[in-house]
Amino acid sequence: MSCARNGGSNNIIDWFEEVAEEADKVQTETLKRILELNCGVEYLKKWLGDANVQEMEASALEALYTSLVPLASHADLEPYIQRIADGDTAPLITQEPITTLSLSSGTTDGRQKYVPFTRHSSVTTLQIFKLAAAYRSRIYPTREGGRVLEFIYCSKRFKTKGGITGGMATTHVYMSEEFKTKQKETKSFTCSPQAVISSGDYKQSTYCHLLLGIYFSEQVEYITSTFAYSIVQAFRSFEEIWKEICGNIRDGSLSSRITIPDMRKAVLDIIRPNQSLASKVHSKCEELEVIDWVGLIPMLWPNAKYIYSIMTGSMQPYLSKLSHYAGKLPLVSADYGSTESWIGVNLDPSLPPEKVTFAVIPTFSYFEFIPLHRQSQHSKFKSAVDDFIEDDPVPLSQVKIGQEYEIVLTTFTGLYRYRLGDVVEVAGFHRNTPKLNFICRRKLILTINVDKNTEKDLQSVVEKGSKILSNSRAELVDFTSHANVAKQPGHYVIYWEIKGEVEERLLGECCREMDASFVDHGYVVSRKSNSIGPLELCIVERGTFKKIMEYFIANGAALSQFKTPRCTSNPVLLSILNVCTIKKFHSTAYGD
């Protein structure tokens, strides 16, 4: 089923209500469509042989497929994708020729990987944008003809050895005809022209986003970016450049820092001198500086209804700073997806980010769920996420409320029973499609021997340690970690960038608190036996994590898709972190 034939927000909601009601049937039909479109490709023939996919009933095909095609990781499909990148035009994973590959940022697991991107990827992206906007408009109505301040960015695209276009998934979307059509047809227009979005230089784009956002400040209905990080990063920059922006608005000029001709022309074609606005913004910014920019967004964008971005998972550490800028303005969590596929939509934008759930869209991919049982249920100790016991995958219709699962995808773009690595919990149902809580990425990030800690475990530990900073006027800007095994015993290193002055005594307390807050049984036992050494807290100089971001962007990542790596063994990143370290602290003997 497709909602392309429907127009208007009510129509797209009606469409989703219909497919959610018949989610089980829609899922079976979705799998049949995927297999009909791609029957005969090399990967499927390996498992399904010459099965007559076209003639089989959908339910029988579903049973055959899940019994014969094995679960797969990216490593299993990577040889086929690499052949495509190298120019092999045979139907390897899809019958549709793949002319575009998405490149993951590599910030999650330290390694960039190719994922197929087709027109279906762009279409579903625009479809979920429209669906989510329809649900948001029910709670936060916006004015027709208003504007949106969007901090969105394209990175540079490239050609693979075989002539395939490569780049970040967000870049492919923002460069697509579907996105350009959406920009023309939407009721709320973005503040920035395409030349700003697609410049490939995030610093110059950010400056122009901010300048035009201020220029159209009275018209801005909401503020958005793919990730919360991008919004926080933009307003941290604004604290430093606001006077220059005010000067540009006063004179109708553009900073000399903007050197890209197309971007200069596009911005200068829009702005005109506005001394009254410049004076008003200048006065407000002087007030905001005194109160450390609390409530910056509603002060400068008085008609903004909310802030919209992905705020779950690795974005959670930025919510405190985003709330600082937002004041009482609602934070609305954007929808749940990955480079591989969109998964679910936020149907209740009024919920705070920590309570948000995502209703699975059953037409986007065929979803399976691996039931996960924590071994902690059989032990008095809390266990790390990767100590799960797994059951056989179940279809969407058989998931249970309160149960945790790993998501498995079969996509129109050529991924078959692909283990996404995301752990979710079923929070309930919307009609007959499940509503998911995102729990964490399954991948372990901190481990030395028998210890097993995930990104969520690390976030919890850092949150507890950083609460001690509330005793000073300092804030944690960002963090990452490293399992140092260069010397025995190995130990964890946590890097913090801090804004403000903190007594060394308090930082020592932060270090001890974090060491004591790891509850993984393997870590606790290893610390007590000294087979893992005391935790090390390294304080890095201001701007260190900006250097890390710039390293990834220089290597092809887009700011729209950037996520600070929460653990790294990358020698370049470790070099940046260690060179920028200005203070070190070690926890005391464990249990002291």
Q: Is residue 135 part of a domain?
A: no
Query: What's the mean pLDDT in 346-372?
Result: 93
pLDDT at 153 over 50: yes
The percent of residues above 70 in pLDDT, for the chain, comes to 90
Give the C-alpha separation, 313 to 235, whole Å.
21
Q: Is residue 128 part of a domain?
A: no
Write down the residue that tokens 């950037």 correspond to: 562
Domain ends where: 297, 329, 361? 329
| Residues 297 and 185 reside in one and the same domain | yes
Domain ends where: 329, 360, 376? 329
Q: Is residue 365 part of a domain?
A: yes
Domain ends where: 274, 302, 329? 329
State residue 553's pLDDT score.
Answer: 78
Q: What is the pLDDT of residues 284-308, one digit of tens each?
A: 999 999 998 999 999 999 999 999 9
| Residues 454 and 436 reside in one and the same domain | no
Give the C-alpha separation, 176 to 178, whole Å.
5
Torsion angle (degrees, nearest 10) of CA 261, 265, 271, 273: 80
State residue 382's pLDDT score.
Answer: 37
State residue 339's pLDDT score.
Answer: 80
Cis ω on the peptide bond leading into residue 571 (within 30° of 0)?
A: no
Q: What is the pLDDT of residues 485-514, one digit of tens each?
A: 777 777 899 999 998 888 888 888 889 988
| Residues 200 and 314 reside in one and the same domain | yes
What's the residue count for the chain? Answer: 592
Distance of CA 169 to the CA centre of its chain: 12
Give the C-alpha separation, 291 to 295, whole Å.
9
| Residues 388 and 317 reside in one and the same domain | no
| Residues 164 and 233 reside in one and the same domain | yes
State residue 162's pLDDT score.
Answer: 86
| Residues 285 and 222 reside in one and the same domain | yes
The percent of residues above 90 in pLDDT, for the chain, comes to 41
> For the chain, what is the mean pLDDT?
85
Q: Is residue 1 part of a domain?
A: no
414: region left, alpha or beta (phi > 0 left; psi from -120 to 50 alpha) = left
State residue 55's pLDDT score.
Answer: 78
Q: Is residue 123 part of a domain?
A: no
State residue 387's pLDDT score.
Answer: 57
Query: What's the mean pLDDT in 446-460?
Result: 77
Q: What is the pLDDT of residues 168-205, one digit of tens each?
A: 777 777 777 767 666 665 545 889 988 898 887 888 99
Global confidence as pTM = 0.78
Q: Is residue 55 part of a domain?
A: yes
| Residues 418 and 483 reside in one and the same domain | no
When divided into structural domains, the chain yields a total of 3
pLDDT at 359 over 80: yes
Q: Is residue 458 part of a domain?
A: yes
| Residues 452 and 564 reside in one and the same domain | yes
| Residues 432 and 545 reside in one and the same domain | no
The CA angle 251-253-257, to the nearest 5 degrees, is 135
State residue 590's pLDDT score.
Answer: 63
| Residues 228 and 167 reside in one and the same domain | yes
pLDDT at 588 over 60: yes
Q: Is residue 130 part of a domain?
A: no
State residue 1's pLDDT score.
Answer: 40
| Residues 196 and 324 reside in one and the same domain | yes
For residue 89, the enclosing domain spans 9-117+338-441
| Residues 363 and 218 reside in one and the same domain | no
State residue 463's pLDDT score.
Answer: 87
